[in-house]
Amino acid sequence: MLISGIQKMSLLDFPGVIAAIVFTPGCNFRCGYCHNPEFVLPERIAEIRPSFIKEEVFFNFLEKRKGVLDGVVVTGGEPTLMPDLLPFLAKLKERGFKVKLDTNGNRAGVLRAAMDAGLVDYVAMDVKTSMDEYLNLVGNLASAENLRESMKMLMAGSVPYEFRSTLIKETHTPEVIADMVALMTGAQRVALQTFRPGNTLCAKFGDYHAFSDDEMEAIRQQFLPVAGEVIMR
């Protein structure tokens, strides 16, 4: 599998698990606020391709970290675009590591296959905005049908999961927030993430604004009645 980067250890990305993070290149969304354009835009991916990490090198690293690391987070980009994602996850499981998959949910079939095969222990699915606003925010490859299917699958399944949303003042209006609350009603866990302006995929988003702590808390209060747990990051 193509590995565009790794983070050797994280205590925050996989709830309750000390994990390494694997980044895959390429994405089917174009979120203007994305902070990893080098893993999304083809021209930026081409620039870093010589530094890609070979799969065997990564597994050698994991072998040396047994007893220190308990799991691996597979993120991107969008990992479900990788044609050999499932065999890669299987290798992780065979080596005794727990697996967290980060996904935008647009390839519901791949997510279902990973869950049905028991290859994931935790899933974090980005819920970017209301369904009506998805195409405007992420580009025309988003499929409302696939996104809803992924959400329904997670909510009905046995794999622990969270829906996570990065909130931006200029795009997440009160009407959009209300629609998102309805969309995520019944969720096991919702993670509301504060936007960080700066190095963004689309330059104009670099000048957009984060909600204040008090504003984020007010939004969290809207989600509390409909989700099992609501956290802020």
Calculate the CA dihedral of residues 187, 189, 192, 198 and round it to 10 degrees.
-110
Q: Which two tokens stand for residue 192?
A: 């509301």
Give pLDDT, residue 187: 98
Give pLDDT, residue 197: 85
CATH number of 5-232: 3.20.20.70
Mean pLDDT, the chain, integer: 96
Query: How many alpha carbons fall within 13 Å on the CB side of residue 188?
Result: 16
Burial of 22 (0-12, 13-18, 19+ CB in 10 A): buried
Tell me the pLDDT tens digit for each residue of 130-158.
Answer: 999 999 999 999 999 999 999 999 999 99
Share of the chain above pLDDT 70, in %: 100
Domain boundaries, the chain: 5-232
Calculate the CA dihedral of residues 24, 26, 28, 34 and round it to 10 degrees.
80
Q: Where are the alpha helices (DSSP H) in the chain?
A: 42-48, 55-64, 85-94, 108-116, 134-138, 144-156, 174-183, 213-223
Name beta bridge partners: 126.
Answer: 164
Tell me the pLDDT tens digit for each residue of 196-225.
Answer: 887 888 989 988 999 999 999 999 999 999
Q: Say if strands 71-75 and 19-23 run parallel, antiparallel, or are unpaired.
A: parallel
Q: Quick check: 170 pLDDT over 90?
A: yes
Instruction: Give the max Cα distance, the chain.
Output: 50
Mean per-residue pLDDT for 25-43? 92
Tell me the pLDDT tens digit for each residue of 39-81.
Answer: 899 999 999 999 999 999 999 999 999 999 999 999 999 999 9
CA 194 to chain centroid, in Å, comes to 15
pTM of the model: 0.96
Q: Which of 105, 169, 101, 156 is nearest to 134 (CA)?
A: 105
